[in-house]
Structure 1
Amino acid sequence: MRFDSLLTPVSESAPCGPDLDEIGDDQYLNYVLGADNRMPGRYLDSETGTPFDRTSIDLKAETKAIGGFLEQSRDLRLLTLEARLQALAGQIAGFCDCVQAIAALLDQFWDEVHPKGFDGDFTLRQNTVAVLEDRTTVVLPLQYAPLVRDQRAGTISLRDHAVATGTAAREGERVLDVNQIMETLRSEAHRAEIDALHASLSSARKAVATIRSAFDEGTNYQYSPDFELLSGVLGQLLALIEGARPDLGGANGHAVTEAAPDGSAEIIAIGAVPAAAPAKAAAVAIGDHAAAAAALLAAERYFGRAEPSSPALILVHQARLLVGKPLVAAIEALMPDNAEYASIVVDAASGFELNMAKMRAITDDFAAAAEEPAAGSETIFSAGTRAEAAALLAGVATYFRSVEASSPIPMLLGRAERFMSQSFQSIIAELLPKKNSE
């Protein structure tokens, strides 16, 4: 990998070198400001829908400049900047290299890599990696990026496949035949190229999981990033490749979504999905809180019956207990040792805040006034496999993100999903705190 040298310490005393932003290095600051200004405000033209001109990115000059700064300082801000430039330039493999480098640095130099945490606050670092979720400079560019360049078909992208399978084409946009796309991707002429691209995408997807795990462990889940969009587009690209080349993945049907120019989601039918990704089954539709509770109960029964050793059983059960519960109950259930310190600050200057006792009293008062009999769910859910249980969890998480953004349930279910594919050894490594070396 191009960035392997970054794992060599800059010096013994400062493995990641100085923070060029913190010390106010003029060359660094001028470059970063200029690079940000070269980023488009929109990827698709608001009037014509024409995508950003990727040839406007001088990738050779950009990577040379960033490489020079990385020699001095191991900084995630530089790598996420290059990742976005690679995506905008249509370089999928280059983007994947950047994601892998970010994961490697976080894994090896969590305490030293820039930007560092400050008194346990990793907001800046979290925001740094969160730009990998940006629609304008990452998600849409990757959807439009060429997978191959063919003499007959021209460039083939995820967007081309979407249009070929029913997504509305913008005015003047070419429409390829879907069979031509799949034949091109599976052709012997592009075999080595597709093999390499599939390997890059697979490594990037693993790197995303490594980044998330590093934040989980390093911040006790307080600053863990959500890579839903990035994971989605990487999965879409892999699914398209594996649809044409089943030898590279599983043979099960898979549906993926693409962000349309108007911001809506369009379904793209892809022929295959990696066999090792059962948790990515299509989410089950959830209509209300009662249905959410019923779906969680079905998933809970699956884990209790088929995978009782999985921590997912505990997390799903806790999530079900929190359905319909107020903030006070969630805090008391999830953070019992610190619950009494919770407060809602209304006006810090005057000291006006609602402490836990007041929040509890208000909650109890509301519950007494608004008490109604709980409605049962008319929908019956069941799960006989891990994939079906994962689909239920995905549906419940999606429902609460949509109707109750403040709910902790998606967080619990996201962690449960990650535990579903972990071995006992890796689970124990997370659950039992490491002993301090003496």
Structure 2
Amino acid sequence: MRDLSPYILAMDEACPCGPNLEYDSAFLALERLATPDEERGVGATVRQAQEPDWRDVARMAETLALRTRDLRVVLCLAQAWLALEALPAMADGLAVVQALLEQHWEHVHPCLDDGDPTERINALALLGADPGILGHLRRCTVIAIERVGVVTQRDLRTLAETASSTNDDDLHKTLREHVATVFGHAGHSRLQEIDAVAVRAIGHLEAIGQVFAMHTPGRGPDIEPCIRELGILRREVQAYLPMDNAQAPACVSPSPENEATDASPAGAVHRLPRSLDADEIRHRLDEICEWYAANEPASPVPVILRRARGLIGLDFTSLLQAIAPGGLTEFRSLAGED
């Protein structure tokens, strides 16, 4: 595990974050080096887009990060680490961002403009951008097993997107089998490590959001896309872990009251009490349907949930009549009823 303290600790008492190197030649060179070359035409030739040389970016950013405490430098470093080393390195980069904001809010570069965080928020826009941290996360390798295969975050995202689509049944089935094979060969301990890294990254992202919520309420970087992406990863990984060995589930995070913020798009989800009556279950289903109506109005989930709501409390015969009336006659014949 890399030592992050050289990029976080105060540089000196008088100037804890060091000088603003925004116009320094090394800073400008880093910005150019970290910017991807876009696809462009040269005469009849099309020059393909090219990724930066992330090893060079990492070396230059690490050197600059020792001279100044600047979020722009750290975001370049975090991108390079993620591109080179995948998820664990992403968590390291986010840890540096969090620490700089928490420990050096008044002095970290770019500084506040008379209390205005706009420039600082713009610097952190890379957290939710493609190209940026989000883009690299969506393309990163989650796990690679020699002679078995590779699973990427793109694979897991495609699984989530095709889960309810009848048009992509073959794609979903093929991809599901591939992921199951690779995860099956990985073993629980390896998957637990991946889940733990995702938990750590989500924690850093949420802490970054909380710093802005405390100092500049209502204004801050968009961290939700990254949290959602990590939530997709966690749900897929946890499907192959026994619950007693997994981290807190991606859909339910424990707290003293069994409630916390979830990494999934649905936001805060609570554990159900141990005993619920039928009316309480109906009420919970209504709340879920209301959430979908407000946040995902095109989703088919509420249709299914309302159907399930109408089945609560039915006995077996009534349930069969409701969902498969054609099978009721056969059941009565089997049961010896007239």
Per the shorter chain, which TM-score range?
A: 0.5 to 0.7
Please give the alpha-carbon distance, in whole angstroms, between the structure 1 residues aligned to 2:147 and 2:173.
Answer: 14
Matched residue, 1:149: 144
Deviation at 1:243, TM superposition (A): 1.6
The question of whether the paired residues in 2 share the 8 Å contact of 1:183 and 1:244 is answered with: no
Q: Which amino acid aligns with 2:196?
A: A
- C-alpha distance in 2 between matches for 1:208 and 1:89: 20
Aligned to 2:215, which of 215, 218, 221?
218
Q: How many residues of Structure 1 are paired with residues of Structure 2 in the alignment? A: 267
Q: What stretches of structure 2 of length at least 5 have no aligned partner?
A: 41-47, 255-259, 274-280, 298-338
SS at match of 2:239: helix
The residue aligned with 1:8 is 9
CA RMSD of aligned residues (A): 3.9
8 Å contact from structure 2 (residues 100, 108) kept in 1: yes
Assess if the C-alpha contact under 8 Å between 1:19 and 1:73 holds in 2.
Answer: yes
Asked whether the 8 Å contact 2:18–2:67 carries over to 1, the reply is yes
Q: Residues of 2 paired with 1:390 and 1:165: CA distance?
A: 19
Query: Structure 2 length normalisation: TM-score?
Result: 0.66
From the superposition, tell whether residues 99 and 398 of structure 1 become closer, same or farther in structure 2 (CA, over 3 Å): farther
In 2 relative to 1, CA 161–213 (structure 1 residues): closer, same or farther, beyond 3 Å?
Answer: closer
* In 2, Cα distance between equivalents of 1:70 and 1:148: 29
- 1: CA distance between counterparts of 2:114 and 2:253? 42
Structure 1 residues 11 and 382, CA gap change in structure 2 (3 angstroms): farther
Mapped partners of 1:115, 1:383: distance in 2: 48
- What CA distance in whole angstroms lies between the structure 1 residues aligned with 2:161 and 2:13? 57
**Equivalent position amino acid for 1:215 in 2:** F
Q: Is the contact between residue 70 and residue 110 of structure 2 (CA under 8 Å) also seen in structure 1?
A: yes
Residue 246 (structure 2) pairs with residue 248 (structure 1)? yes
Contact map agreement 2:58 2:76 (CA 8 A) in 1: no
One-letter amino acid of the structure 2 residue matched with residue 230 of structure 1: C
Change (3 A) 1:74 1:40: farther
Q: Is the 8 A contact 1:283 1:395 kept in 2?
A: no
**Could you tell me how far apart the structure 1 residues matched to 2:143 and 2:93 are?**
20
**1:225 offset after TM fit, Å?**
2.5
Aligned to 1:404: none
Give 1:286-301 correspondences, 5 Å limit: none
- The percentage of aligned residue pairs carrying the same residue is 21
Say whether residues 1:209 and 2:107 are aligned partners. no
Which blocks of at least 5 consecutive residues in structure 1 are unaligned? 43-50, 252-271, 285-301, 307-380, 400-438
Check the 8 A contact 1:145/1:157 in 2, yes or no: yes
In structure 2, the partner of 1:122 is: 117
Q: Which has the larger radius of gyration?
A: 2
| Deviation of 1:147 (Å) | 1.1
**Amino acid aligned to 1:95:** M
Q: What aligned pairs does 1:152-231 form with structure 2 within 5 A after superposition?
A: 152-163=147-158, 167=162, 176-187=174-185, 189=186, 191-219=188-216, 221-231=217-227
Report the CA distance between 1:180 and its aligned residue: 4.0
Residue correspondence of structure 1 range 11-410 to structure 2 within 5 A: 11-21=12-22, 24-36=23-35, 38=36, 57-89=52-84, 91-163=86-158, 167=162, 176-187=174-185, 189=186, 191-219=188-216, 221-246=217-242, 247-249=245-247, 273-276=251-254, 279=262, 383-384=283-284, 392=290, 396=294
